[in-house]
Amino acid sequence: MSNPFPPSGTGANPAIAPGLNPFMLPSRWDQITIGGQTWAGKIDIRGAERFYKWQPKDTRGAESWNDTYQGLKPKPFTIVFFVYTSSQGASWPAFSSQFMYFGNKNAPQPVTISHPSLFMLGITSVRVNKVGALHKISDDLMFAADVEFQQWQPAPQPGSAAANVTSTPTSAKARPTTPYSPSNPEIKNLEQQIESTKAALRSTGNPPGSS
């Protein structure tokens, strides 16, 4: 999937691409694309987070410990889709049909998801845990449906370097290395944009974070 967000430009926080800034392009925050289908209008993303797995290891005879980083642990989150126009009401049955799983021979497949809030957490692929019914929430013809998703992160192949690597910080200042590099090209592209901008600022004598 091509990068849905434009490259960093001038006049914005150099650490955030304009496509992720809700004040520069608010329209991107008022729509979400799932499985290649875009839903435009009010949504509410609840409980999305980037959760890490750590294994604590006590140090015998000392009041300290070493924690081993073991990668990400996907957590469920909910997206509330609001339906308040006739066109949305007509589109919802087809749009929501991709969330319906059935007991057939083919296992349900994860789908891509694109929204600035989720992108900044590295969430670009999801599976569905449950789908709520479209229901009326107010007397002025406002309807809503809750859909619970979970980040999809395929496990590394057994025996691969990514499957066998963990990291243990040796001090409070140590930064653990990840057991695998992000496989999504969108994340790598964003990281490269941020590093390039920081380097440009340092060359002009204005390092990031300086006033």
Q: How far is CA 52 from the centre of its chain?
A: 14
**What are the tens digits of pLDDT across the range 33-47?**
999 999 999 999 999
Distances (CA, A) of 9 to 6, 68, 86, 174: 8, 38, 37, 33
| Separation CA 203–CA 196 (nearest Å) | 11
Residues 6+ apart with CB under 8 A from 12: 18, 21, 24
> What is the pLDDT averaged over residues 146-173?
65
Q: Give this prediction's pTM.
A: 0.65
Q: Quote the Cα angle for 29-114-122, to 5°.
A: 105
Task: Tell me what pLDDT residue 82 has.
Answer: 97
CATH 3.40.720 matches 26-153: no
Q: Domain extents for the chain?
A: 26-153
CA 7 to chain centre: 18
Question: Per-residue pLDDT tens for 59-87?
Answer: 776 677 788 888 888 999 999 999 999 99
